[in-house]
Structure 1
Amino acid sequence: MDGYCLHGQVDRARRIFKIMIDKGIEPNIISYTILINGYCKKKKVDEAMQLFCEISQKGSKPDVVTYNTILQGLFKVGRIGHAKKFFAEMLSAGPIPNFYTHGIVLNGYFKYGLVAEALLLFSKLERKRENTNIIFYNIVIGGLCKNGKLDKARAIFENLPLIGVLPNVRTFTIMINGLCLEGFLDEAKDILRKMEDNGCFPDNVTYNVVVQGYLRCNKICEMATFMKEIAGKGFSFDATTTGFLINVIRENPSVLDIILELHLRSKK
């Protein structure tokens, strides 16, 4: 069943499920969750919900993984109201939410612009010190940046050392990307330097984010200077940067000469 679901063949997985029952093998919560997950990945959330109800009718109790799977599916298809109601039911009568539950809900709220709801949940969790590791903060900082709440994201980012949570490379990259999206390239570079000073070294994603910032603002000379600085650090353009670069070259073909020169220099 799991193999079929992983390959998107949920109908075949369902037939295996039926064969199990016909042979007198009672499905357990793991079997149900595998099939529910298969339906959710195919965006067939109604079928997943029917199975979820069937679990309770047969006297079993859905576990936290089952709840997380349904929540993920509801957010995936944009059924926000149902997701909020389902989460509320989980809080009142279901298993205790874990880190993944809160991550799913926070990501869902931010994805659909429900910033107030996301911040309310964030505040509750932070007060209780529940699941407040760096991955949790990465979700919140990234969600705020994507929803135009840069000042709030910056405040949370700057507060991390004060509460004893160490930012990782993803945290720095998320914050740098948020600043670049708003055109604060100098501040983004300052954070890049602090990142290196703290022994948390940028990766290719970080460098691409900065280059995209320069391209987005059409600051080609500054981009060239930055690329000279990172020459020899294994930097390569990702798909997003390449897309930006192609558009810039169409408008200004001389940029291609700069890129070729930098490429040859990095090979020496």
Structure 2
Amino acid sequence: MPGAKFKGAYAVSVIIAGLAAVASGGGLVIKGLYRDSAPIKIAWLGNDLVTFFVVVPLLLASLFYAQRGSERAQLVWMGLLGYMVYNYAFYLFGASFNLFFLLYVALFSLSICALVQGLASLNARRISKEFTRQTPVRGISVFLLFISIPLGIVEISQCLQFVLHGEVPEVPPLIFALDLSVVVPGTALAAVLLWRRRPWGYVLAAIMLVKAFTYGLVLSVATALVAGFRLGGAWDPLMPFYVFVASGGLMGILLLLRNLKPLPNYS
């Protein structure tokens, strides 16, 4: 069976999809689940909308085709697992304690396990050889650098402002923690490795592009909802950047996968 080597990661991912559907669906329908401030509650709503209606269906679809040997689906699957890790880290460590706390623990932990096992089962060297020479690695790399370097500069500068002048950043520290420890270095590394056409560059770039699309969409929807409910004051000036990240991530992953031409497997 084509997807036999992913058997463990596949089984765990099916559980993740079910739990994510429960967590996001419950967030949409259970009144009073979230015990945070009004703007943050609306942000969770935007997150749940994207997770339930976009990410979970994409995860199930990618699992279906990955099990049938599609390497494109395998890369998308890994990217969606990356989204689950990043996304439910926010719920687990950032949301006020609620009825779904143990669900967030399970989603965060299982997503890490599935991602590690899935990546360990990928044949990155083989996959890298299946990308055509026309793959726009430099254009995609520039996009990844464009979203990672400015993000790092802005967040590090705010940290330094606190060190030098005692100015506390307005955003929760969890955002800086995840961005500066995972997103910024991971995206920059993907850009560098892809630019140099290294095997893991293609895999890591696919993961970060899927993450850019899905979480850029989360930020766009949540920002629109907060503004629509008039809970955040003026319209978030970063909205164009969120849209750029989401649309660029989608275009990037489509271009990357379009240039993946699987070789016959004679094993």
Superposition TM-score, scaled by structure 2 size:
0.23
Q: Give the greater-gyration-radius structure (CA).
A: 1
Superposition TM-score, scaled by structure 1 size:
0.23
